[in-house]
Amino acid sequence: MDLVMAKKVAAIITNPIHKQGLYSAGFKDPGHTEFLARLAGLPPASSVMMLAVPGLRVVPLTIHVPLNDVATHISADKIIAVAKILHQALSLRFGIEKPRIAVAGLNPHAGEGGTIGGEEESIIRPAITALRQDGLLIEGPFAADSLFHIDARKTYDAVLCMYHDQALIPLKTIDFYGGVNITLGLPFLRTSPDHGTAFDLAGHNKARPDSLIAAIKMAARLNA
């Protein structure tokens, strides 16, 4: 952090951390993303996690939240804040002149008009309307089960998802070994591999460095 804040290095690439071990040792932040934001003097909500592979970028609105608590962590204000950080990053970091953002619904069939949950109509759609009024090219909410096939991926530059697995399952299915985590909203660039510590592979000479290599290359490319 000292080096990157002093602009002596261009980016930070972090390796996976074992959260349970950190928590048991007294680590107070939910993870790297919030920890780095705090060290940079920013509130945790100012940092956003993007996962990327060639052909797909996803951002989970909620990250390490139990599934039965996800709905209580979704709000129009949070969607608006995260979408604006995502829009800015797509423009400035990725050089996309007019970023197109798709928003996934929370419930099956994106709530189907309120018959399968009401979050889409009461929270997500009003947030999208407000963002469109601010000039963002953002559409949704879309049913998540039809949002990630090859033709759908041609219609957007990134997807704002409602929860962790909704974002990571399609991305890891497309390219399990090449995924990169990019933290948006920080005053510096941070990337990391899109996988965990994989203790079960330790000592077996089976672990693959592909995602770390991709994270290093992504940091270099975004700084070019």
Judged against a pLDDT cut of 70, whether residue 224 lies above it is answered with: no
Domain ranges of the chain: 1-48+184-224, 55-174
**90-116 pLDDT tens trace:** 999 999 999 999 999 999 999 999 999
**36-71 pLDDT tens trace:** 888 889 987 788 999 999 999 999 999 888 999 999
First to last CA, the chain: 21
Domain 55-174 in CATH 2.60.40.10:
no
Average pLDDT over residues 165-178: 94
- Residues contacting 112, CB < 8 A, separation 6+: none
pTM of the model: 0.90
Is 57 within 8 Å of 159 (Cβ atoms)?
A: yes
